[in-house]
Amino acid sequence: MRSLNNPIAVLFVTALIAACSCTKRPNDEKKLEIQNPTSYLLRKIIWSGPTSNGESLAFFYNSDHLVSKIERYEWSGGPSQITYDTSYYSFEYTNGLCTKWKVSEGFEGYFIFEYNNRNLPVKRTCYYADNSFSHATFYKYDNDDNLIEKTDSAVTIDFRSVYAYDSNNDLVSSIEYILWSSPQQKVKYEWSNFDQKVNFIKAVNGLPVTAAYDNNVGSYSSSSPNNAQTENYFSQVDINQSFGSPNSSSFSYEYNEQGLPVKMKTGPWIVTFEYEKYK
pLDDT tens profile 23-65: 334 344 445 545 799 999 999 999 998 777 889 999 999 999 9
Residue 12 lies in a domain: no
pLDDT on residue 2: 39
Distance of alpha carbon 113 from alpha carbon 127, whole angstroms: 11
Distance of alpha carbon 152 from alpha carbon 150, whole angstroms: 7
Residue 124 lies in a domain: yes
pLDDT tens profile 205-234: 998 877 766 777 888 898 899 999 999 999
pTM: 0.84
Residue 101 lies in a domain: yes
Give the total number of structural domains in the chain: 1
pLDDT on residue 17: 29
CATH number at 250 reads 2.40.160.190
pLDDT tens profile 54-97: 899 999 999 999 999 999 998 887 666 667 789 999 998 888 88
CB within 8 Å of 140: residues ≥ 6 apart = 122, 147, 148, 149, 150
Residue 19 lies in a domain: no
Residue 217 lies in a domain: yes
pLDDT on residue 276: 97
Q: How many CB atoms lie within 10 A of CB 248?
A: 11
SS3 for 216? Answer: coil
Q: Which band of pLDDT confidence, cut at 50, 70 and 90, is reported for residue 18?
A: very low
SS3 for 200? Answer: helix
Residue 129 lies in a domain: yes
Q: How many CB atoms lie within 10 A of CB 166?
A: 14
Q: Which band of pLDDT confidence, cut at 50, 70 and 90, is reported for residue 272?
A: very high
Residue 20 lies in a domain: no
pLDDT on residue 32: 54
Q: Which domain holds residue 45?
A: 28-277
